[in-house]
Amino acid sequence: MRLFIAVNFDAKTAGRILAVQERLRAMGRGNFSRPENLHLTLAFLGEVAPEHFDGIQRAMERTAVCPLRLTFDSTGRFPREGGDVWWIGCAGNSALTQLQAELSRQLSAEGFHLERRRFSPHITLARAVRLREKPDSRALLGEPFSTEISTISLMLSERIDGRLTYTEQFSVSASASQTERETPC
C-alpha cells in the first residue's frame, strides 16, 4: 500500500484552490491534480506493508491535532526537466509546523523512516506543466485565502482505471486526539 498523511479540504477551500488551478490551466498544459485529490501532505510514508497499518494509527492518535487556521498566500513552482510542478503555498504557521514535527516524531517512534527534507507546506496544482508565458504570481493566486483545519487523514494512493486516486483510510480530529493526549490544545 502506498500511503501518506495529509490535510484534506472542505468544499469552499477546494473551490478557491480550483480557481487558482483554472487560471494556471489557461496559461498552458500539464497534468492537473483532480479536485478530489487536492491536499497538503504532512508525511509521505511510501510503500507500507499491511501489518504496519496499526503503527501508523497509533502514531496519528498520539499526535496532538489542534484546530488551526491555514492561510494560502503564494504560488510557485518546483522546476523539473519534463515540466514544472506548480503549487499554492501556505504562509508560515508555527502550529502547522509543530503538528508536522510531532507526527514525524510519533511515526519515527513506530519505526517509520521519513524523508529528511525541510517541511514546505503546499498544495500541488499540477505536474509536468509547460506554460506559454511566465505568470504573475499574485495574479495567479488572486486574493490570499484561509481555512480552518482540525483533522489529519491517512490516505491510500493507487491507480484505479488508470487514474490516480487518493482514498482516506483513517483520520484523527482535534476532539479525538485531545482525549488521547496529556497535553491539551
Q: Let me know if residue 158 belongs to a domain.
A: yes
Domain hosting 106: range is 2-180
Instruction: Give domain status of residue 34, yes or no.
Output: yes
What pLDDT digit, counting tens, does each position of 91-140 carry?
Answer: 999 999 999 999 999 999 999 988 888 899 999 999 999 999 888 888 99
Q: Examine the residue annotation and report whether 39 is marked as an active-site residue of this protein.
A: yes
Which residue in the list 16, 39, 62, 77 is annotated as catalytic?
39
- Asked whether 177 and 61 are in contact (CB, 8 A), the reply is yes
Q: How far apart are CA 7 and CA 150, in angstroms?
A: 9
**Bridge partners (DSSP) listed for residue 167:** 156
Residue 185: inside a domain: no
CA 120 to CA 133: how far, in whole Å?
26
Selecting among 122, 140, 141, 149, the annotated active-site residue is 122
- In the chain, how many H helices and how many E strands? 5, 9
- The CATH number for 65's domain is 3.90.1140.10
Rounded CA separation 123/90 (Å): 8
Number of independent structural domains in the chain? 1
pLDDT band at 185 (very low <50, low <70, confident <90, very high): low
CA distance between the termini of the chain: 32
pLDDT digits (tens, 9 = 90+) for 27-86: 999 999 999 999 999 999 999 999 999 999 999 999 999 999 999 999 999 999 999 999
Q: Is 113 a catalytic residue?
A: no
